[in-house]
């Protein structure tokens, strides 16, 4: 078996293609395989699949393939063109590569495996390609995955996440039933969410059943402008509501800590009040038992905050509305201004808070995905190119079919 036959066997070269010659460079540590095709072969038109004879060939192109040991492997070939009566002169598809790619499908599948396992810098070192080439493969994989999506989620969550410095934000749309990032836009304006609804189209937007979000007016306005019967579909996320309550509680603590008598008692308790009572770490337990029975305003604010969590434990909307009236009366007469402010905010949006009992959705999935997004950002030590951030999030969190061909590690013949 000579070197051409070995390469044909190792790289699964199939007729009508064959290896005409092989060049090995010890200096450059590379193997170059030159492919030719048998004469008289008819090729299918890429658009209509009519079998047609070769008209001419394009200029020789080179594709990076999987390494052969320590040697980088490259394929050289001149791809035939055919004269289709319906589509004119057109280049046939290279069986080993997607259009416009300089890598074989095998190499891209291997690169995607590496990129899913590590960051771009280390992946480029493993693959022995440049960072730009690595980003090109990542970008192609994401575009490929997005193009394969056949539908949009009918129950979605909308969230915002900061990135970089100076309070830059991205608007993230999640699929709730199939947990994944469905869309990313920069900023957190009405137009940011508008772009998502425009992208999926009016028909898909009309099929949306529920939207979980924070009480953020731009997102509310966008959803009401684009989603049919949005008033009955918006659900204000319980975790965001509790976040507002935690912030109010912390404001009460900070105000009270200015008092000399309370300052010592509240020292190093900032994070203790953020826990629910059943999840309180043992290191805080002793101090918590003392302070919860005290006359501290912070302890009262904590009790009001903890009681609000019971709203979502109600069995029906009527039960929840009855519970709410009692809780609101307590909070609004608490003489704790930050708590009263949040209580009024919830009251103003009560209809969409209680719509939880119709749809039973939250943005809980966002917490896990946000953690994964934070890991993506950390792995790259930030993104100087903000479009790379969008690409990386979709790559790692989009639940997309990233690989060339629909099947991971699909065997690709040449």
Q: How far is CA 159 from CA 167, 190, 197, 239, in A?
A: 15, 13, 15, 11
* Mean pLDDT for the stretch of residues 98-127: 93
Residue 18: pLDDT above 90? yes
* pLDDT on residue 414: 53
* pLDDT on residue 383: 58
Q: Which two tokens stand for residue 263?
A: 């300052």
> What's the pLDDT tens digit per position in 214-231?
999 999 999 999 999 999
Residue 405: pLDDT above 70? yes
- The per-residue pLDDT of the chain, averaged, comes to 91
The length of the chain, given as a count of residues: 414
Residue 117: pLDDT above 70? yes
Picking from 190, 151, 152, the residue whose alpha carbon sits closest to that of residue 171 is 190
Q: Which CATH class is domain 155-234+365-372?
A: alpha beta
Cβ neighbours of residue 18 under 8 Å, at least 6 residues apart?
A: 4, 8, 35, 36, 37, 38
> What's the pLDDT tens digit per position in 119-150?
888 999 999 999 999 999 999 999 999 999 98
* pLDDT on residue 3: 84
Residue 167: pLDDT above 60? yes
More confident residue, 10 or 339: 339
* pLDDT on residue 408: 52
What ranges do the domains of the chain cover? 1-96, 155-234+365-372, 238-359
Residue 182: pLDDT above 80? yes
* pLDDT on residue 73: 96
* Mean pLDDT for the stretch of residues 16-22: 95
Q: Which two tokens stand for residue 407?
A: 């099947």
More confident residue, 382 or 304: 304
Residue 260: pLDDT above 70? yes
| Angle at the Cα of 238 from the Cα atoms of 173 and 308, rounded to 5 degrees | 170
Portion of the chain with pLDDT greater than 90, in percent:
72
* pLDDT on residue 402: 95
Residue 381: pLDDT above 60? no
C-alpha 304/C-alpha 85 separation (Å) is 77
> What's the pLDDT tens digit per position in 287-345?
888 888 888 999 999 999 999 999 999 999 999 999 999 999 999 999 999 999 999 99
Long-range contacts, stretch 268-276, CB < 8 angstroms, 24+ apart: 269/298, 273/246, 273/249, 273/298, 273/302, 274/246, 274/249, 274/250, 276/306, 276/309
Residue 20: pLDDT above 90? yes
Across 128-132, 184-188, 362-366, 403-407, least confident range = 403-407
Q: Where are the strands (E) in 3-131, listed by range? A: 17-25, 30-37, 43-44, 51-52, 54-57, 61-68, 71-77, 80-84, 88-91
């Amino acid at each position: 078996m000579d070197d051409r036959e070995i390469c044909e066997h190792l790289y699964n070269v199939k007729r009508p293609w064959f290896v005409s010659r092989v060049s090995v460079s010890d200096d450059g540590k590379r193997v170059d395989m030159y492919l030719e095709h048998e004469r008289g072969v008819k090729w299918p038109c890429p658009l209509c699949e009519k079998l047609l004879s070769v008209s001419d060939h394009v200029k020789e192109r080179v594709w990076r393939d999987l390494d052969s040991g320590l040697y980088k492997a490259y394929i050289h070939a001149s791809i035939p063109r055919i004269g289709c009566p319906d589509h004119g002169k057109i280049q046939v598809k290279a069986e080993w590569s997607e259009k416009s790619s300089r890598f074989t499908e095998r190499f891209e599948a291997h690169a995607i495996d590496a990129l899913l396992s590590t960051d771009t810098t280390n992946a480029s070192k493993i693959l022995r390609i440049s960072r730009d080439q690595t980003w090109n493969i990542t970008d192609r994989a994401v575009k490929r995955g997005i193009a394969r999506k056949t539908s949009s989620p009918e129950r979605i969550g909308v969230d915002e996440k900061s990135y970089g410095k100076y309070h830059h934000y991205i608007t993230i749309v999640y699929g709730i039933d199939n947990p994944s990032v469905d869309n990313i836009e920069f900023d957190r304006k009405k137009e940011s969410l508008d772009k998502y609804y425009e992208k999926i189209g009016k028909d898909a937007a009309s099929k949306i059943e529920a939207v979980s979000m924070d009480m953020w007016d731009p997102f509310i306005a966008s959803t009401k402008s684009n989603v049919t019967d949005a008033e009955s579909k918006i659900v204000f996320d319980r975790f965001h509501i509790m976040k507002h309550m935690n912030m109010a509680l912390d404001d009460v603590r900070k105000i009270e800590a200015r008092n000399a008598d309370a300052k010592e008692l509240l020292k190093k308790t900032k994070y203790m009040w953020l826990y629910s009572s059943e999840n309180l770490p043992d290191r805080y337990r002793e101090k918590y038992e003392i302070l919860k029975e005290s006359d501290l305003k912070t302890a009262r604010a904590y009790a009001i905050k903890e009681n609000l969590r019971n709203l979502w434990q109600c069995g029906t909307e009527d039960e929840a509305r009855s519970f709410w009236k009692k809780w609101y009366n307590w909070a609004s007469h608490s003489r704790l201004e930050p708590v009263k402010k949040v209580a009024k905010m919830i009251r103003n949006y009560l209809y969409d808070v209680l719509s939880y009992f119709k749809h039973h959705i939250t943005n809980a999935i966002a917490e896990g995905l946000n953690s994964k997004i934070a890991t993506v950002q950390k792995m790259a030590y930030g993104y100087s190119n903000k479009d790379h951030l969008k690409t990386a999030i979709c790559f790692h969190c989009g639940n997309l079919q990233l690989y060339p061909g629909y099947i991971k590690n699909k065997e690709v013949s040449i």
